[in-house]
Structure 1
Amino acid sequence: MKKILIASIALVVIGGIAFTTYKIDAKSFKKNKSYNVENIANLKVYTDSWDLRFKKSNSNEVTISAEGKQEDKAPVTFHKDGENLVIEQKAQKSSGFLGGFTFGKRGGTIYINVPETGINNVEVANKDGNIQMSDISVDNILVDNNSGDEKIKGVSANTGKFSSMDGSLNAENSYFEDLNITSISGDNYIKDIESSNVKVTSKDGAVSIRDITEGESLTVDTTTGDIGLSYKKAPTSLTVFAKSNSDIKLTLDELRKSNSGVKSIKGEIGRGANKLNLTSEDGAINVTN
C-alpha cells in the first residue's frame, strides 16, 4: 500500500510539472494583414478549433487579424492562391510528456473584415469553433461546420448553405435568395429573414422561424424536433402542407383546408402560388400569421 501511495504521489507531481510546462510553453500569437479586394474573388477558410468573426470592412481591403496562443509554429496562416485568399488554422500538439493531450479548449479568434463589394464567395470548413457573421454582403456563402455554434446577422447573399453536425444556428435580419440549412444535432433559430426559397432539414433539434417574409418556397423537415413558424405579414397566396405524428396547429388567416386529418393538413390561401411544406416524424408543428 505504501508503494502504491508513493507511486501515486509521484504521478501527480510529474503530471503537475508537465501540465505547468505545457501552459508555460504556450505563447501569445498575433498576426494582421490586409489584401486589396480587386485581386480576390473567393475567401476560403479552414479552421480546426479557433473562433471566426466575419464583419464588414470600411475599406476596399480584406483585413485579417488572428489572436490566440501558439506552440512552436504559427497556428494561423494567410496566403493567396490565384483569385483565392486562403486562411488556415491548424491544431498544434505540445512536445514532451503530455504532447498528445489537450487540457480544455486552447485557441483564439480569427477576425475577417469583408468589403461591401468585390468578394464573390465565402467558404468555411470548421472543425470545432464558433462562427459569427455580421453585416457582410457577398454572392455566395458556404459553411460546413462539424461542431460549433453559428450566429448570422445582417448578412446578404444570393445563396447561403449552412451544414452542421453538432451546433446551433441563429440567423436574423438577413437576406438570401436561396437559403439551405442542414443540421444533424442542434437547434435552428431563424428570425426576420427574407428569402425566395428556404429549405431546413434537421435530424435532432427544433426549428424556430419567426417574422419571415412570404417567399416562393419554404420547406422544413425534422426527425425529432418541433417546428415553429410565424410570418411577418399574413400570407396572401400560399399552398400549405403539414404532416406530423405529433400535434399540428395552423393559425393562418384565409386558410381553406382541403384535407384536415390527425396526422396531416392541406390547404390554400388565395391562389396558392407559393409553397409551404412542413413535416416532422416526431415533433409538434405550430404556424401563425
Structure 2
Amino acid sequence: MKKILAACVALIVIIGIVLSLYKTDAKSFKKNNSYNAENIDTLKVYTDSWDVKFKKSNSNKVTISAEGKQKDKAPVTFQKDGENVVISQKAQINSGFFEGFTFGNQGGTIYINVPESGMNNIEITNEDGNVQLSEVSADNIAVENNSGDEKINNVSAHTGRFASKDGSLKVENSSFEKLNITSESGDNVMKDINSLNVKVSSKDGAISIKDMTEGKSLAVNTISGDIGLSYKKAPSALEIAAKSNSDITFDLDGLKKSNDGEKLKKGKIGEGSNKVSLSSVDGSIKVTN
C-alpha cells in the first residue's frame, strides 16, 4: 500500500511539473486586418472561449483585431469568403497524453469595429465567452450563445435574435423592428427598448423590461422566474393578459379589467390595438406605467 501511495504522489508531482511547463509555454498573440464594408454582406464570428466586442468604427471600413495567448497555432483566423468575412477562434488542444485538455491562460478578446452606416448581417456563434455590442447598427443581428454573458447597448437593427443556453442577457437603449430572445438559463434584463414586435421566452430566469416603448406586440413567458414590465410613457392603446400561479399586479392608468382572477388577469386601455401577453408558471408578474 505504501508503495502504491508513493507511486501516486510521484505521478502527481510529475504531472504538476508538466502542467507548469505547458502553462509557461503560452505566447502573446496579436492580429489585425481591415475590410471594405461595401463588399461585405455578413460578418460571421465563431468563438470557443474568447470574448467578442463590437463597436462603432470611425472609418468606413470594418476593422478587426485579436489579442490574447497562443500555444502553437494561431488561435484566431480572419477569412474573406465571397461576400462574407469569417472570424474564427478555436480552443487549442494539446496532443498526446494531454489530448482533450487546454493549458495556460489562452483567453483573449476579438475586437470588431463596424462603420456608423451599419452592416447587412452580423452572426455570432459563441461557445464559452462574453459578447458585447455597443453603438452598432445592422439589418439583422443574430447571436447563438452557449455559455457566457451578453451585453447589448445602443444597438439598432431590423431584426435582433438572441439565443442563450446558459448566461445573462442585458439589452439597453436599443431599437429593433423585431426582437426575439430565447433563454434556457439566465436572467434577461431590458431597459429603454423601442420595438414593434418583441418575443421573450425563458425556461429558468427572471425577465425585467424597464422603460419600454409601447409597440404592436409583446409576448413574454418563462417557466421559472419573475416578470417585471414598466413603460417609458403610459400606454394609450393596450390589450394585456397575464397568467401565473403566483402574484399578478397591474398598475396602469386607464386600464379597464375584463378578468381579475388570481391566476389570470386581463384588461384594456383605449382601443387595445397593441397586444401584451405575459405568462410565468412559477413566478410573479408586475406591470406598471
Q: Given the two structures, how large is their TM-score scaled by the length of structure 1?
A: 0.97
Give the structure 2 partner of residue 63 of structure 1.
63
Deviation at 1:242, TM superposition (A): 0.5
Query: Deviation string for 1:218-243 (max 9, x for gaps)?
Result: 11011011100100011011001011
Query: Deviation string for 1:61-104 (max 9, x for gaps)?
Result: 10001011112111110011111011111111123543432358
Unaligned runs of 5+ in 2: none
Percent of residue pairs bearing the same amino acid type: 70
SS in 2 for 1:38: helix
Separation in 1 of the partners of 2:103 and 2:28?
Answer: 17
Deviation at 1:254, TM superposition (A): 0.5
Aligned residues: 289
Kept in 2, the 8 Å contact 1:151–1:169? The answer is yes
Give the structure 1 partner of residue 168 of structure 2.
168
Separation in 2 of the partners of 1:206 and 1:105?
Answer: 33
Deviation at 1:249, TM superposition (A): 0.4
Deviation at 1:179, TM superposition (A): 0.5
Query: Deviation string for 1:253-276 (max 9, x for gaps)?
Result: 100001111110111001101011
Separation in 1 of the partners of 2:2 and 2:165?
Answer: 49
Q: Of Structure 1 and Structure 2, which has the larger fraction of its residues in strand?
A: 2
Q: Matches of residues 14-29 of structure 1 in structure 2 within 5 Å?
A: 14-29=14-29
Kept in 2, the 8 Å contact 1:38–1:118? The answer is no
SS in 1 for 2:8: helix
Unaligned runs of 5+ in 1: none
Give the structure 2 partner of residue 91 of structure 1.
91
Query: Deviation string for 1:111-153 (max 9, x for gaps)?
Result: 0001112520000111111000000111110111111100000
Q: Matches of residues 23-172 of structure 1 in structure 2 within 5 Å?
A: 23-102=23-102, 106-172=106-172
Kept in 1, the 8 Å contact 2:23–2:104? The answer is no
Separation in 2 of the partners of 1:153 and 1:25?
Answer: 37
Separation in 2 of the partners of 1:165 and 1:154?
Answer: 24
Q: Given the two structures, how large is their TM-score scaled by the length of structure 2?
A: 0.97
Deviation at 1:4, TM superposition (A): 2.8
Separation in 2 of the partners of 1:104 and 1:209?
Answer: 40
Query: Deviation string for 1:187-235 (max 9, x for gaps)?
Result: 0000011111111000000000000111111110110111001000110
